[in-house]
A and B are shown apart, each in its own frame.
Chain A
Amino acid sequence: MNRSKKKGLAAALVRIVIPPLLLLVVMLAVWQAGVVLFEIKPYLVPSPWAVLQTTYENADKIVSATSLTGRAALLGFLCSCTAGLGVGFLFSQSVWIRNCGYPYAIFLQTVPIVAIAPLIINWFGPGFHSVVIVSFIISLFPMITNATTGLTSTPPQLLELFRLQRAGPWQTMSKLRIPHAVGAMVTGARTASGLSVVGAIVGEFFAGYGARQFGLGYLIRQSAEMLKTDLLFASVGASAVLGVVIFSLASFVGYGLLAKWSLAHD
């Protein structure tokens, strides 16, 4: 039993991890070859080897920037989860409330964040909390829509079952609507997790942090302005890794919740 489980795990690892790694190696090889063959200037496209070297040399800087951005993104994500669930809960209470509030929720999705980020910094001053607010705004919408959809799409047959048992509104919410909505909420949270990283980086573009403390957004802007393209590539790579980590974290927690609440959604 144990052995077959291990075998299954190894097979899954080979299936999931090996193919993208292979593709990465091929792409890096093509990239390196291209830069060398066509003698491309390093400030246009640095070779992967140069990027790796820069990453190593600036490891302290990149790690501390990633960790700061990560903290801002995580906080923005948690805020958007909490607020999104709250607003979704409110929206699910009546069509009237939903109709009142929905246009403004859509505004969150359509507003060009680059336009309002400077405003937020004007209001709240440059620094960590402004970055968190931008990350929060960018990642809020999918949480609201998914929570609302989940909470309002309870099958009418099940609602009738609860009505027949004379269940109160709170019982219907806690024992039917919320468990039924967990799947949609997890989907919303996974989308929001990726966006929270984007939001944090955009926020840092404008908010920076100052010379002593800075995040990936600041590092990206600074290296672009100084034509340190290799550092720019390294920072972008770190952003991607951060996004994957936060997305995986949200997925992991989400699947845990799904297993507990909605194990048998068939």
Chain B
Amino acid sequence: MPAGAAQSGRRCAIRLSQVDVRFSKSDPPALRDVDFSVDAGQFVAVLGPSGCGKSTLLRVVAGLLPAASGEVLVENGGADQSEPVQGGPPKTAFVFQEPRLLPWRTVFDNVGLPLELQGVSRRDRSEAISESLALVGLSPNDAEKFPRMLSGGMKMRVSLARAMVTRPEVLLLDEPFGALDDMLRQQLNDDLLRLWREHRWTTVFVTHNVSEAVFLSDVIYVMKSAPGEMAARIETPFPHPRSADLRTTAAFARQVGLVSRVLHGGKA
């Protein structure tokens, strides 16, 4: 069993059925009749044009937005999949499009924030923070820096480290590398996939980049443009572990082409 799953002690699956989300009664729904399912330990990408409701979907899963109707369940992914998660709500970590670091805190204290808010003492969180920083490739030297001293890519790594410090059961990422250049994005994608392989968090990754979605995920959900309906569910046929070379293969290019066609209104 992978290390992360052993530490967290439980695996969570996400099930949304017939979910509607409305910001106000007069507005059209931001999500309409959405069925969405992520198995425990699965890496799922959500793909769609801007404004289609990808981020809304993620916020519903995180519990930041209520569903107007339908069912949102984060279940125990063990033997009995119908059982709701036991022992409190699932540990969910969210990585936003922007790093959202507190400028008055060092990298170390930014990464430790979730633990601090849970009331973990400074001594006890120190080890978890160092571990988390090492996971994303930041040195102890970087830990004492303030966010303004970091490059965009490093800030994003800090944001990832902050998400991982609580050893989450569900990892939600909202276009985390959207603002970065291609090379950095690929590098962070490779790192993310490696970390996921080691820990097998149940992961939802929102993006509008087709090749990123194909490279990372087991399953891709494609959303239509407004008013936020699900268009298709496409399985990605490549086994793990995947290396960076996968991107250069013909099969990869074919899969990207297929997903792109669906995204632009064709059939899978």
Contacts and interface: CB of A to CB of B under 8 A. Distances in A.
Nearest to A260: B104
Chain A contact surface mostly: helix
Interface in A117-173: 157-158, 160-167, 171
Contacts of B148: 264, 266
A265 to B, nearest CB: 5
A112 B107 CA distance: 50
Interface string B68-103: 000000000000000000000000101010101011
Contacts of A108: none
B117 A262 contact: no
A263 interface: yes
Contacts of A7: none
Nearest to B98: A157
A151 to B, nearest CB: 15
A166 B118 CA distance: 8
Contacts of B64: 160, 163-164
A90 interface: no
Contact of A161 (B96, B116, B149): B96
A165 B118 CA distance: 8
Contact of A164 (B94, B102, B146): B94
Interface residues of B, number: 19
B114 interface: yes
A86 interface: no
B62 interface: yes
B148 to A, nearest CB: 4
A157 B159 CA distance: 13
Given A157-B98, A264-B147, A266-B148, A175 B116 contact: yes
A162 B103 CA distance: 15
B102 A179 contact: yes
Contact of A265 (B96, B100, B103): B103
B263 interface: no
A265 B103 CA distance: 6
Contact of B103 (A166, A167, A262): A262
Contacts of B118: 165
B136 interface: no
A244 B116 CA distance: 42
A162 B110 CA distance: 12
A261 interface: yes
B244 to A, nearest CB: 31
B146 A263 contact: yes
Nearest to A163: B64
A50 interface: no
Contact of B117 (A167, A263, A264, A265): A167
Contacts of A157: 96, 98, 100
Contacts of A158: 100, 102
Chain A: number of interface residues, binned into ranges = 20 to 34
B103 A266 contact: yes
Contact of A171 (B92, B117, B146, B149): B117
B113 interface: yes
A164 B92 contact: yes
Contacts of B149: 264
Nearest to B63: A164
A224 interface: no
Nearest to A161: B100
B103 A264 contact: yes
Nearest to A266: B148
Q: Most B CB atoms within 10 A — which of A158, A164, A171, A265?
A: A164
A262 B146 CA distance: 10
A159 B117 CA distance: 13
Contacts of A161: 94, 96, 100
B20 to A, nearest CB: 22
Contacts of A165: 113-114, 117-118
A180 B114 CA distance: 18
Given A158-B102, A176-B102, A264-B104, A164 B62 contact: yes
List the 7 shortest-distance A-B pairs measured between CB atoms, nearest first. A264-B146, A264-B148, A264-B103, A266-B148, A262-B104, A165-B117, A167-B117
Given A158-B102, A165-B117, A264-B147, 19 more contacts: A157-B98, A161-B94, A165-B113, A165-B114, A167-B117, A175-B113, A176-B102, A261-B104, A262-B103, A263-B103, A263-B104, A263-B146, A264-B103, A264-B149, A265-B103, A265-B104, A266-B103, A266-B147, A266-B148
25 contacts: A157-B100, A158-B100, A160-B64, A161-B94, A161-B96, A161-B100, A164-B62, A164-B94, A165-B113, A165-B117, A165-B118, A166-B117, A171-B117, A175-B113, A175-B116, A176-B102, A179-B102, A261-B104, A262-B104, A263-B103, A263-B104, A263-B146, A264-B103, A264-B149, A265-B104
